[in-house]
Amino acid sequence: MSMNAIGIAGSGLDVNRQWLNAISDNIANMNTATATSGPAFQARYVVAQAGAGTSGVFVKSTALGDSAGIIKYDPSNPLADAEGNVRMPDIDLGSQMGQLIMAQRAYEANAKVVTDAQATYEAAIAIGKSN
């Protein structure tokens, strides 16, 4: 295992944490209605990029979904216009759940690398001390 394994996996943990935060924010706001005169909640999508050489990965940017959203008929909503319509985010729960599973598994894999690298380094130190 490379001596930089913890740093590389740590950068993956950070990206995956930000990805999970974006997904949870999207899911939490997928039913957020706004007036048709304003923009819909815009889903957030994390854009990751590999670092130079073996420096891991980092969040390059955050892309936003379409502010046009979807017009939905909901006359009981206090934000409804004269025709009874509101603007809803264009967020697909199935897609977000798939993203959630991938982000969670990637986070777990990076956490395992950190744990395994730590155990390997500790074993190497113990061998060095015994000589």
- The domain locations on the chain are 5-130
What's the token pair of residue 71? 């017009």
Question: Is the per-residue pLDDT at 107 higher than 50?
Answer: yes
Yes or no: say if 71 and 87 are a contact pair by the CB < 8 Å rule. Answer: yes
Question: Is the per-residue pLDDT at 126 higher than 90?
Answer: no
Chain segment 36-95, per-residue pLDDT in tens: 999 999 999 999 999 877 678 999 999 999 999 999 999 999 999 999 999 999 999 999
Closest to 106 measured CA to CA, from 46, 62, 25, 51: 46
Question: Is the per-residue pLDDT at 32 higher than 50?
Answer: yes
pTM: 0.83
**Which residue has tokens 């979904």?**
65
List Cβ neighbours of 18 (8 Å cut-off, separation of 6 or more). 46, 59
User: Which secondary-structure segment (H or E) carries 46?
Assistant: strand 44-50
